[in-house]
């Protein structure tokens, strides 16, 4: 799908149809090796490495905001990328994984203190505050929503008090709502009526919906998408599901959704059969992350959610996202192996 969705853009910018495909294929190979290596590591070691992962993510998030030799600066109003030699890396992707590992470790150690907010909510909040502040300064509201949603799911599964979670939500949601309706984020609510401004706020959504509608039942065929010919911005990244819908139709789209549902259900099964509490919470967080991000990306493509700039897990072009998700898949495989 990356090869199909990126050919037009690749020829225009790089003079070859295979630039994005080749880069993504390279990450697939490296990420698959990383996944296999991680799957052989005892998952309990990641609990000991959680602070190191979190610290690395924190340093990366700082570097994207300051003037440094490896920071790319602001692209389309956001500062999210580091240029490390031939590699472009997005620290916020590592931050998602690091937060999940760290929270799983904390909640597993404090199973008997889930009713005490000072032992659970306070340390989680103190950890999240600097991470999310840096992400907010990029700005990247989508990553904040993902992290808060996944951490919330993990805390519910761990047995946190729902009344305290409700109070925490009352404090956080107004801030998120204010940010969502401020600056360029406000333009994303154009999804409610994309025809009101079809040349600006509604352009990508109209291109996405047109592509999905053109696919019909069985699609126009692999590589035959018309939306990618300048009618669909970010066709190979955020909007790649629209190309799936156009080329493979409703049947192909439902098949992709079914694959995500199967993957999430498999992750839930891993969590239920995990050999220890840390493994169960880690599998819960990773599964919730994959499922929620896929849900939002697909929802944006069909016009039922505002655009958040999420990649479609394992499908969209994006080396950082794919590499970190493959490492996460390796963790799930490792927990499943030890459960047997």
Q: What residue numbers bound the domain in which 214 lies?
A: 2-339
- Return the pLDDT at 33: 97
Determine the Cα–Cα distance for residues 80 and 137; give it in Å rounded to an integer: 10
Determine the Cα–Cα distance for residues 110 and 108; give it in Å rounded to an integer: 6
Evaluated on CA atoms 284, 286, 287, 288, the torsion sign reads: positive
- Return the pLDDT at 305: 85
User: 35: buried, middle or exposed (CB in 10 Å: 19+, 13-18, 0-12)?
Assistant: buried
**Whether residue 93 has pLDDT greater than 80:** yes
Q: What is the pLDDT of residues 264-274, one digit of tens each?
A: 999 999 999 99
Say if CB 236 and CB 19 are below 8 A apart.
Answer: no
Across 68-72, 221-225, 291-295, the highest mean pLDDT is recorded for 291-295
Determine the Cα–Cα distance for residues 118 and 121; give it in Å rounded to an integer: 6
Q: What is the pLDDT of residues 235-284, one digit of tens each?
A: 888 889 999 999 999 999 999 999 999 999 999 999 999 999 999 999 99
Q: What is the pLDDT of residues 99-143, one digit of tens each?
A: 999 999 999 999 888 888 888 889 999 999 999 999 988 878 888
Average pLDDT, the chain: 88
Nearest alpha carbon to residue 300 among 289, 290, 312: 312
Cis peptide before 196 (omega within 30 of 0): no
* Count of structural domains within the chain: 1
**Whether residue 69 has pLDDT greater than 90:** no
User: What tokens appear for 102 in the block?
Assistant: 């760290």
Determine the Cα–Cα distance for residues 97 and 327; give it in Å rounded to an integer: 9
**Whether residue 177 has pLDDT greater than 90:** no
Determine the Cα–Cα distance for residues 267 and 265; give it in Å rounded to an integer: 5
Q: What is the pLDDT of residues 228-237, one digit of tens each?
A: 887 888 888 8
Say if CB 217 and CB 249 are below 8 A apart.
Answer: yes
**In angstroms, what CA-CA distances link 313 with 103, 133, 239?**
22, 24, 12
């Amino acid at each position: 799908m990356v090869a199909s969705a990126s050919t037009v853009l690749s020829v225009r910018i790089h003079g070859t149809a295979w630039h994005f495909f080749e880069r993504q294929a390279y990450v697939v190979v490296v990420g698959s090796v990383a996944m296999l290596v991680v799957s052989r590591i005892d998952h309990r070691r990641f609990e000991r490495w959680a602070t190191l992962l979190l610290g690395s993510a924190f340093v990366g998030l700082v570097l994207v905001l300051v003037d440094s030799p490896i920071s790319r600066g602001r692209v389309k109003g956001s500062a999210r990328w580091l240029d490390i030699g031939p590699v472009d890396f997005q620290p916020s992707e590592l931050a998602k994984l690091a937060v999940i590992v760290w929270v799983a470790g904390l909640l597993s150690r404090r199973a008997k203190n889930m009713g005490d907010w000072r032992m659970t909510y306070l340390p989680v909040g103190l950890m999240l505050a600097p991470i999310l502040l840096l992400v907010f300064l990029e700005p990247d509201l989508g990553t904040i929503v993902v992290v808060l949603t996944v951490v919330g799911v993990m805390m519910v599964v761990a047995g946190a008090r729902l009344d305290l979670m409700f109070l925490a939500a009352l404090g956080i949601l107004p801030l998120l709502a204010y940010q969502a309706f401020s600056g360029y984020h406000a333009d994303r609510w154009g999804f409610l009526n994309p025809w009101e401004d079809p040349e600006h706020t509604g352009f990508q959504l109209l291109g996405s919906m047109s592509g999905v509608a053109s696919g019909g039942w069985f699609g126009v065929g692999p590589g035959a998408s018309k939306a990618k010919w300048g009618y669909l911005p970010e066709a190979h990244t955020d909007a790649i599901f629209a190309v799936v819908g156009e080329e493979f139709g409703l049947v192909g789209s439902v098949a992709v959704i079914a694959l995500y549902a199967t993957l999430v259900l498999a992750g839930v099964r891993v969590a239920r059969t995990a050999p220890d509490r840390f493994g169960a919470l880690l599998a819960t967080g990773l599964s919730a992350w994959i499922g929620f991000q896929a849900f939002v990306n697909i929802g944006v493509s069909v016009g039922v959610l505002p655009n958040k700039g999420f990649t479609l897990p394992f499908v969209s072009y994006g080396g950082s996202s794919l590499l970190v998700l493959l490492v996460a898949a390796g963790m799930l495989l490792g927990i499943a192996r030890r459960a047997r």
